[in-house]
Amino acid sequence: MLIDRQKAAEILTENDDFLIISHANPDGDTLGSAYGLCGILQGMGKRAKTICADEVAPRMEYLKKAVIPQEFEEKCIVTVDVADVKLLGALEEKYGDNIYLAIDHHESRKEFARYTVVDSTAAATCEMIFEIAQLMKAKLNSNIAACLYTGLSTDTGCFKYSNTTSRTHNIAASLIEYDFHHAELNYKLFDVKTRGRIDLEMRLMRDMEFFCNDKIALVTITSELMDEFQGRVDVEDFNGLASMPRQVEGVILGVTIKQKGENVFKVSMRSEEPITAAKLCSLFGGGGHARAAGCTINGNLEFVRAKLLPVLEKAVKSV
């Protein structure tokens, strides 16, 4: 059942013994929402704990400071930033059928909870948590503020992307009034790279291919390459590479081909107007946003390239 923020605030106010679940392979928004909401509920004198199917990355360990670990039997299960029950990962089997409240900002969702509050205009689920906390007249502190700020910051590329709104900036303004070190936190979240990641980026940059007068840039990540970097990079280090090719000046279509299995390749595209990444990806059964989209093509790398490149070149040449 779809509800509004006010009703969500009432549910949280009226219940107790909360278990808050983040999505698997967790990012800053799902974790910031979970630890932030957990801290807020504890501050209201309630019992609350949070779990995730996967580990919290070391650079986000600070989020845990918002919460005092508590042992109790959960009565009210809440998911945050979870668009599909499958995204609970290993926790789906145990909790999937018993989600009482889902708080989320994803546009495309599969409903699974008894009550769902969703707002796809929110840049981050943390925006919604902040607003629900206000409706509950809950008190924040610097640790909770750091959690909610983390969600805002990570989901918007530090207020850089088009999903950032006035509302995002206004909430950020309220949050940094609490005395946490937002600059240090952003430094950890955005600037620091492992030496393995740096080596990987250098390799990918070196081997980047250009087509159509350098308007298309292509990066290829094969299983062999991943094996070669095994042990030198974290699993996380293979994420966030899709934005690399379009960072090169003059490129209007950046493409990343990443091997997912023996004959399975995930293709990510980032485009500039008037190239529509979603439209190009839809030709291969994929989709996404206008300027950031993806598709999966089966076959060996040679086959994938032969299928993909002529289509991309035609699209860019027609501009």
- How does DSSP classify residue 101? E
The minimum distance between CB 178 and its own copies, in angstroms, equals 10
Rounded to the nearest 10 degrees, what angle do helices 125-135 and 166-175 cross at?
60
Closer by beta carbon to its own copies, 70 or else 243: 243
Closer by beta carbon to its own copies, 49 or else 105: 105
The minimum distance between CB 215 and its own copies, in angstroms, equals 13
The minimum distance between CB 5 and its own copies, in angstroms, equals 20
Round to whole Å and give the CA distance between 270 and 311: 15
| Of 190, 192, 194, 189, residue with least CA distance to 234 | 194
- For CA atoms 24, 51, 118, 66, the dihedral sign is negative
Other C-beta atoms closer than 10 Å to the C-beta of 134 total 14
Closer by beta carbon to its own copies, 95 or else 190: 190
Binding site for its own copies (CB under 8 A): 157-162, 164-170, 172-174, 176-177, 181-184, 186-187, 190-195, 198, 202, 205-206, 214, 243, 246-249
| Of 119, 112, 147, residue with least CA distance to 7 | 119
Closer by beta carbon to its own copies, 204 or else 301: 204
Name all contacts of 53-62 with Cβ < 8 Å and 24+ positions apart.
Answer: 53/24, 53/88, 53/89, 53/90, 53/91, 54/24, 54/25, 54/26, 54/89, 56/26, 56/31, 57/236, 59/188, 59/189, 59/192, 60/28, 60/31, 60/150, 60/189, 62/146, 62/185
The minimum distance between CB 295 and its own copies, in angstroms, equals 23
The minimum distance between CB 213 and its own copies, in angstroms, equals 13
The minimum distance between CB 167 and its own copies, in angstroms, equals 8
Closer by beta carbon to its own copies, 169 or else 260: 169
In angstroms, the Cα distances linking 241 to 2, 117, 138, 202, 255 are: 36, 32, 39, 12, 10
The separation between the first and the last C-alpha atoms of the chain, rounded to the nearest angstrom, is: 45
Closer by beta carbon to its own copies, 220 or else 271: 271
Closer by beta carbon to its own copies, 161 or else 303: 161
The minimum distance between CB 282 and its own copies, in angstroms, equals 22
The minimum distance between CB 246 and its own copies, in angstroms, equals 8
Closer by beta carbon to its own copies, 75 or else 160: 160
Round to whole Å and give the CA distance between 127 and 168: 7
